[in-house]
Amino acid sequence: MQYSDRVLKTPSSFIRNILKVTDSPNVISFAGGLPNPVSFPVNQLQEAVERAISSNGAKIFQYASTTGYLPLRQYIADKYNRLNNLGLTADDILLTTGSQQALSLISQVFINKGDGIIMEEPGYLGAIQAFTMSEPTFYPVTLEEDGLNIEELQQALVKPNAKFIYTVPNFQNPTGLTYTMERRQEIYDLIKNEDIFIIEDDPYGELRFEGDHLPYIAAGKTDKSIILGSFSKTVTPGMRVGFVICKNKEFMSHMETAKQAADLHSNIFSQYTIYEYLTHNDYTSHVKKIIDLYQSQANVMLAALEEFFPENVTFTRPQGGMFIWATLNNGMSALEFFHKAMAVDVAFVPGDPFYASKTNVNTLRLNYTNATPEVIREGIQRLAKILYEVEVAETV
């Protein structure tokens, strides 16, 4: 039996495979991308379940609409209008089974085999995986300190059948980088007259602990703008509630068809529950608690990197989110470093799976949201020791 080309091409998640190895309690893991459990308002969600059942009864257990629970879609529209002045209605929102499903559906809706996707490099692994199932051609564009490299983007835009650009403009996964105001404007100027959509995938946007909230690249300015959002990083990932925001009616109608085919509709019980939670609690101060924690964890890791790492290792300084990105400039590959690190029970994600076009890279992702200050310092010290041993070996 011959399986489909698309599934044979699609990598199973490198990270999920790493996590199976690193899941032991002895291992100090900077490999995951999990929210700290402090971000789950457990008691309030339990109360929300009770209210959702007592106010709605059997309805929340029945089949439901493909687009999602209307009051929750209206809540999301109102919130994005308030924060970003986008002029949205509930019809501009489609609820999905996590943002991952949105990535899968968008590529299904746009991509014929071989069509182009312009993609940050390094870029989000889950997006590479979701898109690969539609057999696209990837046009990678280097992600720099300030955002997508403009010259490379220009070159990519003239490629045939490029259907959309995929970006994570705030606290990107895997690099932690944030597009500057100027770069956002440059990108928009470049694409505004092109027949191409731009996805701004923004799961971490609310988790800013430094700098000012920045406007989206294209949202609110063109109907070829798609924003992806999620409750996974601020309420619960386990309930799989994400959403697509787009004012283009034709696109949204195709997305509804694709979603019907994919799973009929998302879990309606969880949509009611999250809506009840959001409308009966102080969400802003809940998010503030997560931000304060992540800021303190990021600061501890950055201080440890400065204190313990050799100077030839550079790293990003995130303004929010969950990740730091390090570059080895000592000739070692990230995979070699990973194997040495696992020998001293420290895990991270080598950069390789985040590149559509490169292997054996010298970059790696460090997550700081799931360890105490003591554990973060201990883990970074162990990694530093490996790096100094390599230097000594090379000097000798």
Which one, 160 or 285, has the nearer CB to its own copies? 160
Question: Residue 295 — φ and ψ, nearest 5°?
Answer: -60, -45
Nearest to its own copies of 274, 304 (CB atom): 274
Alpha-carbon span 241 to 48, nearest angstrom? 15
Q: Nearer to its own copies by C-beta: 57 or 87?
A: 57
Shortest Å, Cβ 258 to its own copies: 6
Minimum distance, C-beta of residue 60 to its own copies, in the bound complex (Å): 6
Q: Report the nearest approach of its own copies to the CB of residue 97 (Å).
A: 4
Q: Go through 164-182 and write b for each residue having 16 or more CB atoms within 10 A of its CB, e for each that does not.
A: bbbbbbbbbbbbbbbbbee
Q: Give the separation between CA 243 and CA 339, rounded to whole angstroms.
A: 38
Least distance (Å) from its own copies to the CB of residue 248? 9
Q: List Cβ neighbours of 19 (8 Å cut-off, separation of 6 or more).
A: 29, 31, 32
Q: Does the CA dihedral 77-242-170-154 come out positive or negative?
A: negative
Do residues 208 and 320 make contact, with C-beta atoms less than 8 angstroms apart?
Answer: yes
Q: Which is nearer to its own copies, 41 or 351 (CB)?
A: 41
Beta bridge partners of residue 308, listed in sequence order: none
- The smaller minimum CB distance to its own copies, of residues 15 and 28, is found at 15
C-beta of 209: minimal distance to its own copies in Å? 22
Token pair 């790696």 in the structure block, residue: 364
Q: How far, in Å, CA of 49 to CA of 348, rounded?
A: 36
Nearer to its own copies, 196 or 303 (CB): 196
Shortest distance (Å) from residue 41 CB to its own copies: 9
